[in-house]
A = this chain, B = another copy of it.
Amino acid sequence: MAENAGTRAQIIDAANRLFYVKGFEHTSFAAIAETVGISRGNFYHHFKSKDEILGAVIESRLRSTRAMLAEWDQEEPGPAERVRRFVEIVITNGTDIQNFGCPVGTLTNELAKLGHPARAQAVSVFDLFRTWLRTQFEELGFAVEADVLAMHVLAFSQGVATVSNAFHDGEFVQREVDRLHAWLDERLAHGPAPRSAH
């Protein structure tokens, strides 16, 4: 039972990476088995189907994303710094993003094209970031615009990821990060939009 959880976790970790690097459909059971170092037939003792592995991978991503956001909540002094921390992901994970794009965006799109039922589950990772970003902007006083701003930051990261993946241009990423930081500065300087009169 102890080894069970270990093998299961190893499968999820290997599948998580492979789904990102090679795509979900292009990742075969044989590739995951080879990575983990177990036999192909052994999978079905841990997962009933490939879709079930996908579900476990997405849940794993949800957990690690939640943990990362909670860590940022603790480490960063305020909401503005937290948003900046998010923006900097495209630099922190620069190499992976250049090679494979954004893990969330690319998986969501692949599942959309496959018509896969787990698409909605994959989008929920996006929702995690969206809600978290919205909370930061709300704490900054943007009660009405918070979600709009959150979506804008999300779109920024996806745009940078896709173009970075296409052109392999690190300077472009840095420029766009600087640009968004400047945009955020300006937004914070002008303050939130006035509430509608009661």
- List the interface of chain A (C-beta within 8 A of B): 21-23, 25-26, 99-102, 105-106, 108-110, 112-114, 123, 126, 148, 151-152, 154-160, 162-163, 165-167, 169, 172, 175-176, 179
Contact = CB atoms under 8 A, between A and B. Distances in A.
Contacts of A154: 159, 163
Identical chains in the assembly:
2
Contacts of A159: 154-160, 162
Contacts of A152: 176, 179
Contacts of A101: 109, 112-113
Given A152-B179, A159-B157, A108 B166 contact: yes
A112 B172 CA distance: 19
Contacts of A26: 25, 113-114
* Most chain B CB neighbours (cut-off 10 Å) among A22, A99, A112, A162: A162
Contacts of A157: 159
A43 to B, nearest CB: 22
B165 A112 contact: yes
Contacts of A158: 158-159, 162-163
A31 to B, nearest CB: 13
A168 to B, nearest CB: 9
A175 B148 contact: yes
* Most chain B CB neighbours (cut-off 10 Å) among A102, A106, A114, A158: A158
